[in-house]
Amino acid sequence: MNLKDKPVEEILPGIYRIEIPLPKNPLRALNAYVLKGTDRNLIIDTGWNHEDCMSAMLTCLRKTDVNLSKTDFFITHLHADHIGLVSALAQDNSTIYFNEPEADKVSVSAYWEEFRRFARQNGFPKDDIRTVFRRHPGYKYGPRGPLSFCLLKENDRLTIGDYIFKCIETPGHSIGHLCLYEPSKKLLISGDHVLQDITPNIQLWSDGRNTLKQYIRSLKKVEQLDVDLVLPGHRRIFTNCRKRVLELRAHHQHRLKEVMSILENGELQAYQVASRMAWDISEAFPSWDEFPPPQKWFATGEAISHLKYLEEEGRIQRRISEQRIFFSLK
């Protein structure tokens, strides 16, 4: 990465944006934020546990004159592009702030077995599951070793310099996602809950939840906040938070209609529903069969979250046959 092209940017007094590259990933980069305080600094999100992320982070910390031995960490959610590098950056005296629902899900092995079984039930091909897991950043670039966290919940405060942030629980994109809101500065650090240039991916890989319902509820919560500036986890910083929230809500309503119309032709598994939905990458990969398995995985997880939402609304129903789940209109 050429750092001349990707400078550290001071957004507000004492708040810097650092662009951490995510090589060979469609997200391209993560926005980490460095907040310089009087005694302690705070780094919000870190990038993958990957040498390119590490070298970009260290270069930028030198430029901002941030000493890691006086630095704590806040992680918006458990995805590897946000939490991966924290195990390598944290010092013995660092506090890592995180959320309770995801604290025991950071190590990969246990819950991925459940994903695998659930994916099979929803029609995802066995061979592709193997490829997905091999390539998945969560598998390759997650944090190493056990981490101890200071767990935060709704309305907890974090003070850095002149900024007093309030935690806002925003489950949906992940089950424990936290945003930070600074009411007097009208500043929202949004993680992957609200992004301007891309649509946050809302997946579902187990049966006990309704992630889309949670996500829409979390959008409505953020819609109520008085926000002048949003610092998101990816791509551009933006100003009109409420407008973007409304766009995202409309997007999911449109997706729900799309799923309903796909089911008009009869009963289908979630994987088949996903194959008939419209996807942004359809230009690069004109047919579903050409989609790389990781893209099929994201698409199927997204289809399942919409199917679950419609099922709980009583608009569609499921039938289970030989451990396979089929959906149809009611």
Footprint of Zn ion (CB under 5 A): 81, 192, 233
Classify the C-alpha dihedral 116-120-123-129 as positive or negative: positive
Nearer to Zn ion, 36 or 82 (CB): 82
Nearer to Zn ion, 11 or 198 (CB): 198
Closest approach of Cβ 176 to Zn ion, in Å?
Answer: 14
Token representation of residue 55: 């070298």
Phi/psi class of residue 167: alpha, beta or left (left: φ > 0; alpha: ψ in -120 to 50)?
beta
Nearer to Zn ion, 123 or 137 (CB): 137
Closest approach of Cβ 192 to Zn ion, in Å?
Answer: 4
Query: At residue 106, what is the residue type?
Result: V
Helix 293-312 crosses helix 241-263 at what angle (to 10 degrees)?
90
Closest approach of Cβ 12 to Zn ion, in Å?
Answer: 22
Closest approach of Cβ 42 to Zn ion, in Å?
Answer: 18
Nearer to Zn ion, 83 or 270 (CB): 83
Nearer to Zn ion, 14 or 138 (CB): 138
Closest approach of Cβ 329 to Zn ion, in Å?
Answer: 34
Are 180 and 196 a contacting pair, CB within 8 Å?
no
What is the distance between the alpha carbons of residues 55 and 63, in angstroms, rounded to a whole number? 12
Nearer to Zn ion, 123 or 233 (CB): 233
Closest approach of Cβ 75 to Zn ion, in Å?
Answer: 11
Token representation of residue 25: 């990933």
Closest approach of Cβ 319 to Zn ion, in Å?
Answer: 35
Closest approach of Cβ 81 to Zn ion, in Å?
Answer: 4
Nearer to Zn ion, 101 or 233 (CB): 233
Distance spanning both ends of the chain, measured CA to CA: 52
Nearer to Zn ion, 72 or 192 (CB): 192
Nearer to Zn ion, 81 or 128 (CB): 81
Q: What is the CA radius of gyration of the chain?
A: 20
Closest approach of Cβ 8 to Zn ion, in Å?
Answer: 20
